[in-house]
Amino acid sequence: MEWVETTGKSVEEATEVALEQLGVLEGEAELQVLEEPRQGMFGRVRGSARVKARIRPTSPPPKQEKRRRGKKAGGSGSGGSGSAGNGSGGRDSSSSESSGDDSSSETPRSGGRGSRRSSKDSGSSRSSQGSGGRRERREDREPMPEAEQRSVGEGFLNGYLEAIGYEAEVSSSLDDEGILLFQIDGEGLGLIIGPGLNTLDSLQEICRNAIQRQADGREYGKVVVDVAGVRADRSAALEEFVKAEADKVLETGDEAVFEVMSRSDRKIVHDVVTELDGLETASVGEDPRRRVVLKRS
């Protein structure tokens, strides 16, 4: 499977672009963070994030022995070097693929994975595999102990709250899927939530960075930071809103274009519509102003 490299203002944004190019969900891809933006207090970001991703392979990669046998066979005759050149040329030409207009629309249920990989991405990803055997698989990395992950995350959040003069309680848990949930409970915490959860999302990203630095190459869980259960409340409200809009679309036949949403909110919309008959969704626009369109299928 071929790798693609993407950039964004944050690791999540770069990851989203990579997943959209591949046409898969996060669980179907292997991801490597090559570079992260430098984070300052209150979510201020400098630089950009760079991510490498590919579709998770379903079969083992070809063995090195096959390539060695090909070179040996090519050298046995007078035209050996020409045969080897033709062989490598064939591989290079097969990496060129036609790319569609990824910015126009996208759905998580798209089956055309190959069409989302441009020839530029294919070339760079092939060169990234040229070292052979140096590809790092997330499942092969040593896991960071749960207690250490929780301690680092809680320590960062407690220090952040103390720095801005807030009194609140921080608790943490790690679920069966390896998701680290940090819960902040207290009074008057609206400032660290922000409009559309923007401030909370920034705090979540910085907390993840703090754990990643301490992990030092080890595997750690996906980080979610919540304040007084606001994420669950927002998800429930968004689900009800999407269902109401779905009824209107089915009744009138008109498309519904939602406001600009974060990646997590767009996923909620996609997931709700997946359970409804006669409807489909598509993401349109460019980050950070990407929207979901709801229409009849």
Counting as low any pLDDT under 50, the low residues of the chain are: 41-43, 66, 70-135
Co-location of 133 and 45 in the same domain: yes
Co-location of 37 and 103 in the same domain: yes
Co-location of 186 and 276 in the same domain: no
In a domain, 74, yes or no: no
In a domain, 254, yes or no: yes
Residue type, 236: A
pLDDT of the residue at 239: 94
Beta bridge partners of 279: 296
Paired tokens of 179: 């998701």
Using the CB atoms, write b or e for 187-210: b if 16+ within 10 Å: eebeebbeeebebbbbbbbbbbbb
Check residue 230 and give left, alpha or beta (phi > 0: left; psi -120 to 50: alpha): alpha
Residue type, 272: V
Range list of H helices, 23-79: 64-75
Longest dimension (CA), the chain: 82
pLDDT of the residue at 137: 53
Domains: count for the chain: 3
Of 201, 228, 255, which residue sits at a domain end? 228
CATH number for the domain that contains residue 200 = 3.30.300.20
Co-location of 240 and 223 in the same domain: no
In a domain, 27, yes or no: yes
CB 100 within 8 A of CB 93: no
Co-location of 222 and 240 in the same domain: no
Paired tokens of 21: 């190019």
Residue type, 166: Y
In a domain, 173, yes or no: yes
Could you give the CA distance from residue 136 to residue 167 in angstroms, rounded to a whole number?
Answer: 42
CB 122 within 8 A of CB 92: no
pTM for this predicted structure = 0.51
Quote the DSSP letter at residue 143: B
Beta 291-296 vs 279-284: how paired, if at all? antiparallel
For residue 261, what are the domain limits?
234-296
In a domain, 86, yes or no: no
3-state secondary structure of 34: strand
Co-location of 185 and 265 in the same domain: no
In a domain, 71, yes or no: no
Residue type, 124: S
pLDDT of the residue at 5: 85
In a domain, 76, yes or no: no
Co-location of 34 and 101 in the same domain: yes
Co-location of 199 and 155 in the same domain: yes
Could you give the CA distance from residue 208 to residue 203 in angstroms, rounded to a whole number?
Answer: 9
Of 202, 228, 254, which residue sits at a domain end? 228
CATH number for the domain that contains residue 267 = 3.30.1370.50
Co-location of 115 and 213 in the same domain: no
Could you give the CA distance from residue 84 to residue 75 in angstroms, rounded to a whole number?
Answer: 8
